[in-house]
A and B are shown apart, each in its own frame.
Chain A
Amino acid sequence: MGFENFGTVSFTTEARVADFITYLEQGKVMATRCPKCGVSYFPPKADCPSCLSGEVEWFEVKGKGKLATYTIVNYGPSGFENDAPYILALGEFEGGLQIMARLSKDIAPEDIKAGMSLVVVPLKRPEGRISYEFKKG
């Protein structure tokens, strides 16, 4: 499976990091690392932007992250009308990985604060699409 069912609205059907979707289906949010440069990338990159080597390794974003900042989206772009309002958050994970994702709707509004512990997990959406989101860590 490629990117055609990724996120609420997707734009790319083919991409060399399509394994990301296969891993999501298996319950894992994955990133890539360049063994030569030692740098990790999220979103995953098929070629290392630093040395352009294609010999990158997949690894799972497992640990707990920290919520850096978040915002409520009241007016979503076209295709997201039925999703709004939703909360977009920036999470910081081990190795300097930054991930932008939505906060799970099951987190109570009063629990949401900068610095809270997060995990990133796959999200199967009711209409059959697949994405990832943050849950409480």
Chain B
Amino acid sequence: MDRKVCIIAGGMSRWGVREASIIDMAQEGAQECYDDIPTLKKEDIDGLLFASSYCGRTSFQVNIAPVIAERIGLKPTSICARVDTLCAGGSSGIILATGMIKSGMADVVMVGGGEKLYTPQRWETYYSEMASIDHDWDGAQGIGLPPPFFSLTAQEHMKRYGTTKEQLSAVSVKNRRNGATNPKGHFQKEVSLEEVMAARPIAPPLGLYDCTPITDGCAAVILTHEDKAKELSDKPLVYVRGTAQASLHSMSMNWPGEHLADWVHLRTAAKRAFEQARVKPADIDVAQTHDCFTISEIIEMEDLGFCKKGEGGPFVESGQNDFGGKIPTNTDGGLLSCGHPFGATGIRQAREMLFQLQGRAIRQVEGAKMGLAHNLSGLNVEHTILIYGREP
């Protein structure tokens, strides 16, 4: 069996600093997802994948998928499992669901994701961060939180290619503007270039607005095969066309590229995803790329092939990654405005892709037919790509 796979519904809980449990937020996301496809009966959903990395720590709940299944009224029979690839967990879940539906192992799968990261004791959150990296060696040195490592990356890019702090800041200004009209995101407030430039330093050159916040939230999407998707809805079909996940190393000391701003693992994943989708970067109309830090989006523009290596700074400064530019990116606000509850981020991106390609996004890219979503994981040790299209 080799079926074509479609994404048919998407939902999100409110994201931010939430006085709610991960289960509460998973319910909110699932409810919105059900409402998005009212013709689908819950009984028809035979699989649940839930992406969460920290639920075992901050919610003290492992094997969370059955708990969520019961709370959202599902009785899965093909798969009911948690997925953990940290920041790319949601996208990993979509890749796995796609494979299962394509092969006939599953028919209709909900892929959810989310985290409750704020704990009553803030030190606990900052301690948990060290579980995200190679804790024996990198953790012992005090790398822990991601800003220092991405500061190294930003400095390398600035040194080699002349990238400026203004160019980094332009990414934050754009994404906060895009997110200002997204009622689900962590922030609905625009920031000016001056505010970003003058913000307090976190790990120079990265300031407060160069970094994604710590956010609570959940999201969910539903995937099925083409025939079922046609039966359920008259909306344009959105297909999963290409997927890839590349991991070439696992810690700061074995970097696979020539330098920290050379993301060879991203290019490796991109090559595979583009080949599988039978498209080129120029064919993509809209992108959601992993803007955990402003520098990340700049390097992603380069290594995904939207501009030449080293030209990411001028590319973003001239608005080529904005509406009206070459590749509108992070149209719902991205991580910088929506926040980043790790397992939920890939799901948020998939939901935005579904809405963009069906012409119903809040900030719509006119006539978008092909979209790309991208995540990086942890200390930049893994790159994950999904390409969605209106044609299979």
A3 and B142 within 8 A (CB): no
B204 and A72 within 8 A (CB): yes
**B252 CB–A CB distance under 8 Å:** yes
Partner of A88, one of B129, B142, B201, B204: B142
Taking the nearest CB of chain B, how far is it from the CB of A115, in angstroms? 10
Enumerate chain B residues within 8 angstroms of A69, measured Cβ to Cβ.
152, 155-156, 159, 260
Bound form: Cα–Cα A69–B158 in Å? 12
Partner of B140, one of A9, A71, A98: A9
Partner of B142, one of A12, A43, A86: A86
B contact face: mostly helix, strand, loop, or mixed: helix
**A58 CB–B CB distance under 8 Å:** no
Taking the nearest CB of chain A, how far is it from the CB of B201, in angstroms? 7
A100 and B252 within 8 A (CB): yes
Bound form: Cα–Cα A3–B152 in Å? 27
Interface residues of B (CB under 8 A from A): 123-124, 126-127, 129-130, 135-145, 147-149, 151-152, 155-156, 159, 201-204, 251-255, 259-260
Pick from A11, A42, A101, A131 the residue with the most CB of B within 10 Å. Answer: A11
Least CB separation from B203: chain A residue: A71
B123 and A78 within 8 A (CB): yes
Enumerate chain B residues within 8 angstroms of A70, measured Cβ to Cβ.
152, 155
Taking the nearest CB of chain B, how far is it from the CB of A45, in angstroms? 10
Encode A1-41 as 1/0 by CB contact (under 8 A) with B: 00100111111100100000000000000000000000000
Encode A110-137 as 1/0 by CB contact (under 8 A) with B: 0000100000000000000001000000
19 more contacts with CB within 8 A, not counting A7-B142, A43-B251, are A6-B140, A7-B140, A7-B141, A8-B142, A11-B130, A11-B140, A68-B259, A69-B155, A70-B155, A71-B149, A73-B142, A74-B201, A77-B127, A98-B253, A98-B255, A99-B253, A100-B138, A100-B253, A114-B159
Enumerate chain B residues within 8 angstroms of A101, measured Cβ to Cβ.
141
**A59 CB–B CB distance under 8 Å:** no
Q: A72-B204, A77-B130, A78-B124 are in contact. Are A8 and B140 (CB under 8 A)?
A: yes
Q: A73-B203, A74-B202, A88-B148 are in contact. Are A10 and B140 (CB under 8 A)?
A: yes
B143 and A88 within 8 A (CB): yes
Enumerate chain A residues within 8 angstroms of B251, measured Cβ to Cβ.
43
Interface bin, chain A: 35 or more
Least CB separation from B123: chain A residue: A78
Enumerate chain A residues within 8 angstroms of B148, measured Cβ to Cβ.
71-73, 88
Pick from A10, A12, A15, A69 the residue with the most CB of B within 10 Å. Answer: A69
Taking the nearest CB of chain B, how far is it from the CB of A134, in angstroms? 11
**A102 CB–B CB distance under 8 Å:** yes
Taking the nearest CB of chain A, how far is it from the CB of B57, in angstroms? 12
Encode A73-113 as 1/0 by CB contact (under 8 A) with B: 11111111001101010100000001111100000000000
Bound form: Cα–Cα A6–B141 in Å? 9
Bound form: Cα–Cα A12–B136 in Å? 6
B137 and A43 within 8 A (CB): yes
Across the A-B interface, give the 6 residue pairs with the lowest CB-CB distance, nearest first: A7-B140, A77-B144, A78-B127, A71-B151, A100-B252, A78-B126
Pick from A7, A15, A68, A78 the residue with the most CB of B within 10 Å. Answer: A78
Enumerate chain B residues within 8 angstroms of A7, measured Cβ to Cβ.
139-142
Enumerate chain A residues within 8 angstroms of B143, measured Cβ to Cβ.
88, 100
Q: A11-B135, A90-B252 are in contact. Are A74 and B140 (CB under 8 A)?
A: no
Enumerate chain A residues within 8 angstroms of B253, measured Cβ to Cβ.
42-43, 90, 98-100
Least CB separation from B133: chain A residue: A77
A3 and B139 within 8 A (CB): no
A83 and B142 within 8 A (CB): yes
Enumerate chain B residues within 8 angstroms of A73, measured Cβ to Cβ.
142, 148, 203
Taking the nearest CB of chain B, how far is it from the CB of A44, in angstroms? 10
Taking the nearest CB of chain A, how far is it from the CB of B38, in angstroms? 45
Enumerate chain B residues within 8 angstroms of A75, measured Cβ to Cβ.
145, 147, 202-203
Enumerate chain B residues within 8 angstroms of A79, measured Cβ to Cβ.
127
